[in-house]
Chain A
Amino acid sequence: MDAFLSPSLAISLPALARGLVHTLELAAVCLVASLLLGLVFGVMRYAGGRVLHALAIAYVEVFRNTPVLVQILWFFFALPILVQFEISAFTAAALGLSLNSGAFSAEIFRAGMQAVPTGQWEAANALGMSRARVMFRIVLPQAVRHMIPAFTNRWIELFKLTSLASVIAYPELVYSAQQISNSYFNPVEVFTLVAVIFIALVIPASYLLRRLEARLRRSAP
């Protein structure tokens, strides 16, 4: 236990706190972006014409069937060669994580919408609603309830995956831990603390999300 009381850990705390802020920033950006991507591609696959449908399938398959770490490294090292401008570590990580998570989210949206009975479409059509209106007023609100459990799992997964940004030196929690342990030679304390921080955030978050799910289920008609 002596190791834990070492002054080096006290010195490292501000840097770790900054790392945590970066982790949360990256997670928040990716969460919003992946939801938007998922909505767009999920709707394209569910209700789009032939071209949009094929595009959505290609997107989902490419990003679901390659490792997210390879995607992040591709955006960081390979894309700048193609587009001829520099891409920051944050941008590359956000692109990789959002597009990856967006592909999974698109499938969640699609499955949720498919769970809405076709009778709802027929009824809405009979009332003379436009396709877009049926989508956003009738189908999606009902579908969301089916999607919540899948989304909460996805978000927890996404939060943990932000740790991969450390590989391209984005100074989130894990990268900060590596830097600290390189300067103070205290890997035991620092990496244990980082693991504890993740666990302390993930376990209560998944508990709260499960309670939210249960409440939504109860309020279901």
Chain B
Amino acid sequence: MHYQWDFSVISDNAGLLLWGLGNTLLLTLIAILIGTPLGLAVALMRLSSRRSLAWPATVYVEVFRAAPALVQLYWLYFALPRLTGLRLGGFEAAAIALSILSSAFLSEVFRGGIASIGKGQWDAARGIGLGYPRMLRTIILPQAIRRMLPVFLERYIELLKTSTIAATVSFGDLLFVAQDISYRTYRTLEIFSAIAVMFFLVILLCSQLTRLVEHRLARSGEFTAR
């Protein structure tokens, strides 16, 4: 009994696999685009001296960081329609779940970055008469974001990996496409190995880019490389 590898199933379905990879990247990108500003808003609320703002933000972060991503997704996909009558498709449910999840994690990164900016910067900005929004936009955030950029990129890569849970609610991402092909062809070993390699290459590329950014920042003196 020796297994006959047959990789023709990969080339036969190359278009479908690439379509799945495109969907994976699209879902991740949407979660990044929604999750990042949402994370900033939550961080600003949490840093606020007003308790009515800080408290809900703290609860939000703690709850969405503590519950597993899959449970949040299933809640949106299976429970929310029963509760509200609002039916979400796999894509919508996954996009919302991943956006909320990443906003909770990113808000902590934002908070750390903003808190790391010296008090003198705030005083100086206030001294020259800048309002809070302007102060944030022109003085505090540009410095904080530069400092936190490597952590952000790391979280985005983590998000790309987590996005595979969307396959469980039938969104046609790379993992779902692979399952579909393997049901049709029984070439499970080849297909699952192939998508593992595809993920590996994409993620390796992303982490190399992250390392490059880290080195750039280290050279400009904003960040110390490990």
Do chains A and B interact in one complex? yes
Q: List B contacts of A161 (CB < 8 A).
A: 68
- Asked if B170 is at the interface of the complex by the 8 Å CB criterion, the answer is no
Q: List B contacts of A181 (CB < 8 A).
A: 78
- Asked if B86 is at the interface of the complex by the 8 Å CB criterion, the answer is no
Max chain B C-beta neighbours (<10 A), residue from A69, A70, A174, A195? A70
Q: Which of B152-189 contact A (CB under 8 A)?
A: 160-162, 164-165, 167-168, 175, 179, 182, 188-189
Q: List A contacts of B78 (CB < 8 A).
A: 178, 181, 187, 191
Task: Provide the bound-state CA to CA distance between A84 and B71, in Å.
Answer: 33
Q: Is the CB of B161 within 8 A of A191?
A: no
Task: Provide the bound-state CA to CA distance between A164 and B203, in Å.
Answer: 20
Q: Is the CB of B75 within 8 A of A70?
A: no
Known: A164-B70, A195-B72. A67 touches B83 (CB 8 A): no
- Asked if B196 is at the interface of the complex by the 8 Å CB criterion, the answer is yes
- Asked if B3 is at the interface of the complex by the 8 Å CB criterion, the answer is yes
Task: Provide the bound-state CA to CA distance between A157 and B70, in Å.
Answer: 13
Q: Is the CB of A202 within 8 A of B66?
A: yes
Q: Which residues of A contact B (CB under 8 A)?
A: 61-62, 65-71, 73-74, 77-78, 81-82, 84, 111, 160-161, 163-164, 166-167, 174, 177-178, 181, 187-188, 190-192, 194-195, 198-199, 202-203, 206
Task: Provide the bound-state CA to CA distance between A190 and B74, in Å.
Answer: 11
* 19 sampled A-B residue pairs with Cβ under 8 A: A66-B200, A66-B203, A67-B199, A69-B164, A70-B192, A78-B193, A111-B226, A160-B67, A160-B69, A163-B68, A167-B70, A174-B71, A181-B78, A187-B82, A188-B82, A191-B78, A192-B75, A199-B62, A202-B65
